[in-house]
Chains A and B, each alone.
Chain A
Amino acid sequence: MASVSITSLTKRFGGPRSDAVIDDLQLEIPQGELLVLLGASGCGKTTTLRCLAGLESPTSGRIELGGNAVFDGERRIELPAEKRSIGMVFQSYALWPHMTVRKNIAYPLKVRKIKDGLRDGWVEEVADLVDCGHLLDRYPSQLSGGQQQRVALARGIVARPDLVLFDEPLSNLDAKLRMQVRADLHELHERIGFTSVFVTHDQDEALALADRIAIMRSGRIEQCAAPDTVFEEPATDYVAEFMGMSNRLSLTRGVDGWSASGGAPVRLPVAADVDELTVRVRPEHLAIRGGQDVVHGHQVPARVTGTVYGGSHVDVSLEADGRRLQARVETGTPGSRAAAGDRVVVEIDVARARYFDPATERAVAHAPVPEVVA
């Protein structure tokens, strides 16, 4: 195991003037951490992973593995994949079909000439760790998808590499199995604590597995923090949207406080010297009130355009001043009985909404006391 340090990493697939797929990326991963690279497709997360693995040549920058440079654009160092101490789990598993499970798992030990490992039964040990001890003499084609996934994981960690890389390893599994393997993987990491980088586009997966999540966009990291921080305190408008704050409103500062067009002014818990704000709020934090209810948050008049019944909750689609909003209300509350065409008032939970500067798209600092800024 080792720490990873990425400095000013840049990757272009075309010439010097082409768009950078990875753009001046900085990232420090301490030893033993599981870092998740999260982002929409095309954001550069898989390319970053392949650069770490040595399967892709970065254009410039520096990658250190345990203090040793494995890539340095300036000193023209590039260690090929086979000379880096890494393990990798592929999206397609890439288990070699002509080898038994035992041979697949033993392969990294054999080619790296780790004789102790072969003698001391690391193969069996790691196979038991992933619950595949009984499958060692089968061929990959005789295994289920989940089992293949575990074998691929065993092969990735058997040689106790400095760094284990995961390239969307769960995306080929069905939903139920994915949850199961995700939980197992989490437990395994807690137990052996290998340093790893895990690429996914699934935010639930990222939240469940990560020590830290790095959210990527256009080859840059938007925010890198613990899962709860990313979820609760998104650093940018983009992260907020990616983490489920799908409702977006624009507020302007007035004499009596902040207001959206058509809404009553309200005081907000922000300390900022801007005249406009972008508000991000989760569907759960929008409430639907009838006309007479007493409201505490910011309120906006809206029209219901449709509802979707979801068991314990109801998803209500709304339109407020030409803007689409989504509210998720508990079944049984008055709001859940809304029907298409109803005129309602939408109340935003101002304490749980997040505020961004529309110019920089970055989060605006919280004020210590809610009603500081009028």
Chain B
Amino acid sequence: MSTAVAERPSVEAPRPRDGQEPRAGSMVWSSARRRFGVWALLLVVAYLVGMPLVRLQGLAFEDGAGGYDRALATVGLGELIWRTVYLAFGSMAVAMVLGTLLAYAASRLPDRAGFLRSVPIVPIVLPAIAMVVGWAFLLSPGPGYLNAALRQLPWWDHLESGPVDVYSLPWIVIITGFGLTSFIYLFVSAGMANISADHLEAAHVAGSSGAGVFFKVVLPLLRPSLIYGAGVGLLLGLGQFTAPLLLGTNKGIRVLTTQMYFSTSQFPVDYAAAAALGSPLLIFGVLIVIAQKIGIGDQTRFVTHGGKGAVRRQRPSRWAAVFIAVYGLVAVVLPMSGLLVVALSPYWSSSIDPSSFTLANFRTALDSPNIVESIVTSLVASITAVAIVLPLGYAISTVLLRRRGMPIARTLLDFLVALPLGIPAVIFGAGFLLTYSEPPVVLYGTRWVIILVYVTLMLPFATRMMTNGMLALGTSYQEASWVSGASRLRTHLVIMLPLLRGSIGGAVALIFVLLTHEFSASMLVRSPTTQVMGTVVYDFWSNGAYPTVAAVSIIMTAVTGAGVVAAMSIGGRDVLSKL
């Protein structure tokens, strides 16, 4: 169309672009291209996230909903559901109390003890399976080290075993609660940051004690984050898999997730019933995600401009530091020590004999081709998944942050991306198992099915971290590049990527950490020849090879720890709180 337009009079300086006057692009064409890109992205995400869930339900409804019929006929179904709910509410309650107290304590840490602030987050980045195994080594009724120590006490010295039985529902709840505490801590800390120190100082000046301030001012002001945190805690509690599987299996204490697993792995294998058993968790997860999307709405509303004002901290308290330190000892150091002692001992018994400590277990582990291969698979799958999910998350964030156009596509994308947060990993694992062990795409038995399920599980994290980075950067850097004449692609490569390198580096390390100790979904999609570290630990655990379990758990923790150190050195000390 520009050919029809008369050449305008030339100006005094010779124009560098003579003869290549920009041609007017058609609105239809350029927007069609963009639309195509967005729909293609949506299709990829829908296939990754939606397909497994659709296949699961399809199977459950096959043959006149036969899956549902058999699931409803499960022996002790009522008790199964009751236990699941008990686990969810119980662990949520434990986590709410501990997480809130820890967040309050963290806000009152003295300056010198500032490093303690990241202690409550450590359980997130440590492999859950290692922690659970560590607790079992401590609190197993017979040879558990802590139980043995407790039996020295005068009022328990008559006991043969106990007094604590870690293989019981209450202790499964408590140990799960420890794991969830970190999440509640993150939510409540975020809410705490919004409470001005003035409110609290006013209460102190008015004569309230520390406890009075906590109950009468802090808790009421925190109500929104507490409610939100409780919702998330409940959701996570419902989907818990690791502790019930490792601790509950012996005594037949099953919950919905473990029952699903056994339906897919033990005779009689019944995928349809497993799919049906997962439905309540699926529906609850979807509802929570929808509620959260409606509640939060448009992300761009939360852009804040300018730096934060000087944050005045509350009166520091030494008790705050003591409380967090004790929590760290109990929740992290204790189970890790249990692991370490077993890993160094020739066999697991109630007495600790330092003179017999040996590295033989590590040597055995690293000599075993299965274990070495599982470590390699874990690393390769995690790294590949990171390499796939981050560009995907970047693209999704770019689309979601666009303020106008294609509202339906953007809403769908936003919803789909959030689903893996709401729906338990076990369900995704089952869905992937089902989708990729049948044509058209048969990936079962290869690393690719693990990689794909990892990509799917990490979509929300990758998208959230990229979105936060882009929101913090604002739009003017890229607009300045566009008006300078740079294409969209070039702007992403030359301007956005370098400016986002901090966020990207932090995201790489964090997602890597979360993936190296992924357990729940891996249990479902693994095959005898394709194992990851967590699944190998479980197999040795089932066979009673405890010293090997401990050694592999320690190796797993070391790999994760290296990732955490990398994350903190790239993304800064606060990187863990960006979850």
Pairwise interchain contact A82-B11, C-beta atoms closer than 8 A: no
A219 contacts partner chain B, Cβ-Cβ < 8 Å: no
Pairwise interchain contact B27-A76, C-beta atoms closer than 8 A: yes
Contacts of A115 in B (CB 8 A): 16
Report B15-39 residues with CB < 8 Å from chain A CB. Answer: 15-17, 21-28, 30-31
From A67, A88, A97, B483 is in contact (CB under 8 Å) with A88
Q: Given A67-B6, A69-B24, A80-B25: A55 and B483 within 8 A (CB)?
A: yes
B79 contacts partner chain A, Cβ-Cβ < 8 Å: no
Residue of B nearest to A64 (CB): B5
Contacts of A117 in B (CB 8 A): 16
Pairwise interchain contact B486-A77, C-beta atoms closer than 8 A: no
Contacts of B485 in A (CB 8 A): 82-83, 85, 108, 111-112, 159
Pairwise interchain contact A86-B483, C-beta atoms closer than 8 A: yes
Contacts of A108 in B (CB 8 A): 484-485
From B11, B21, B30, A78 is in contact (CB under 8 Å) with B30
Pairwise interchain contact A78-B25, C-beta atoms closer than 8 A: yes
A165 contacts partner chain B, Cβ-Cβ < 8 Å: yes
| Band of interface residues on B | 35 or more
In the docked arrangement, what's the CA distance between A76 and B24, Å?
Answer: 10
Contacts of A111 in B (CB 8 A): 481, 484-487, 490
In the docked arrangement, what's the CA distance between A147 and B178, Å?
Answer: 54
A214 contacts partner chain B, Cβ-Cβ < 8 Å: no
Contacts of B488 in A (CB 8 A): 82
Q: Given A67-B5, A160-B13: A77 and B482 within 8 A (CB)?
A: no
Contacts of B477 in A (CB 8 A): 94, 96
Pairwise interchain contact B26-A76, C-beta atoms closer than 8 A: yes
Give min CB distance, A46 to chain B, whole Å: 12
Counting chain B CB atoms within 10 Å of each CB, the highest count among A31, A79, A114, A165 belongs to: A79
Pairwise interchain contact A94-B499, C-beta atoms closer than 8 A: no
Pairwise interchain contact B476-A114, C-beta atoms closer than 8 A: no
B62 contacts partner chain A, Cβ-Cβ < 8 Å: no
Pairwise interchain contact B17-A85, C-beta atoms closer than 8 A: yes
Report A16-50 residues with CB < 8 Å from chain B CB. Answer: 31
Pairwise interchain contact A112-B25, C-beta atoms closer than 8 A: no
A61 contacts partner chain B, Cβ-Cβ < 8 Å: no
In the docked arrangement, what's the CA distance between A254 and B495, Å?
Answer: 69
Residue of B nearest to A98 (CB): B498
Give min CB distance, B406 to chain A, whole Å: 13
From B26, B474, B482, B499, A96 is in contact (CB under 8 Å) with B499
Q: C-beta contact mask, B482-525 vs A, less than 8 Å → 1, else 0?
A: 11111110110001001100000000000000000000000000
Pairwise interchain contact A55-B5, C-beta atoms closer than 8 A: no
Pairwise interchain contact B480-A79, C-beta atoms closer than 8 A: no
Q: C-beta contact mask, A60-86 vs B, less than 8 Å → 1, else 0?
A: 000000111110100111111111111
B8 contacts partner chain A, Cβ-Cβ < 8 Å: yes
Pairwise interchain contact A80-B482, C-beta atoms closer than 8 A: yes
Pairwise interchain contact B22-A85, C-beta atoms closer than 8 A: yes
Pairwise interchain contact B22-A79, C-beta atoms closer than 8 A: yes
Give min CB distance, A11 to chain B, whole Å: 11
Q: C-beta contact mask, A106-126 vs B, less than 8 Å → 1, else 0?
A: 011001101111000000000
In the docked arrangement, what's the CA distance between A95 and B30, Å?
Answer: 28
Pairwise interchain contact A84-B22, C-beta atoms closer than 8 A: yes
Residue of B nearest to A152 (CB): B480
In the docked arrangement, what's the CA distance between A57 and B28, Å?
Answer: 13
A170 contacts partner chain B, Cβ-Cβ < 8 Å: no
A215 contacts partner chain B, Cβ-Cβ < 8 Å: no
Pairwise interchain contact B21-A68, C-beta atoms closer than 8 A: yes
From A69, A76, A90, A159, B476 is in contact (CB under 8 Å) with A90
Contacts of B491 in A (CB 8 A): 82
In the docked arrangement, what's the CA distance between A222 and B325, Å?
Answer: 68
In the docked arrangement, what's the CA distance between A91 and B482, Å?
Answer: 16
Contacts of B498 in A (CB 8 A): 98
Contacts of B23 in A (CB 8 A): 83
Q: Given A77-B1, A107-B481: A82 and B495 within 8 A (CB)?
A: no
Contacts of A346 in B (CB 8 A): none
Counting chain A CB atoms within 10 Å of each CB, the highest count among B17, B27, B485 belongs to: B485
Contacts of A96 in B (CB 8 A): 477, 480-481, 495, 499
A87 contacts partner chain B, Cβ-Cβ < 8 Å: yes
Give min CB distance, B322 to chain A, whole Å: 41
Residue of B nearest to A92 (CB): B476
B2 contacts partner chain A, Cβ-Cβ < 8 Å: yes
Contacts of A277 in B (CB 8 A): none
B157 contacts partner chain A, Cβ-Cβ < 8 Å: no
In the docked arrangement, what's the CA distance between A3 and B11, Å?
Answer: 11
Pairwise interchain contact A112-B17, C-beta atoms closer than 8 A: yes
Give min CB distance, A368 to chain B, whole Å: 41
Give min CB distance, B70 to chain A, whole Å: 51
A268 contacts partner chain B, Cβ-Cβ < 8 Å: no
B479 contacts partner chain A, Cβ-Cβ < 8 Å: yes
Residue of B nearest to A2 (CB): B8
In the docked arrangement, what's the CA distance between A108 and B480, Å?
Answer: 10
Residue of A nearest to B16 (CB): A114
Contacts of B6 in A (CB 8 A): 67
Give min CB distance, B99 to chain A, whole Å: 37
Pairwise interchain contact B16-A116, C-beta atoms closer than 8 A: yes
Q: Given A94-B477, A98-B498, A98-B499: A81 and B482 within 8 A (CB)?
A: yes
Pairwise interchain contact B11-A79, C-beta atoms closer than 8 A: no
Contacts of A165 in B (CB 8 A): 483
Contacts of B2 in A (CB 8 A): 68
Nearest 8 CB-CB pairs, A to B?
Answer: A94-B480, A94-B476, A81-B482, A108-B484, A111-B486, A78-B27, A112-B485, A88-B483
List 8 contacting pairs A-B, 8 Å CB cutoff, sorted by A: A78-B27, A83-B485, A85-B485, A94-B480, A96-B495, A107-B486, A155-B484, A159-B485
Given contacts A67-B8, A77-B24, 14 further A-B contacts (CB under 8 A): A68-B5, A77-B26, A83-B22, A83-B23, A84-B483, A85-B485, A86-B483, A92-B474, A94-B479, A98-B499, A107-B481, A108-B485, A111-B481, A165-B483
Q: Which residues of A contact B (CB under 8 A)?
A: 1-3, 13, 31, 53-55, 57, 66-70, 72, 75-88, 90-92, 94-98, 107-108, 111-112, 114-117, 155, 159-160, 165
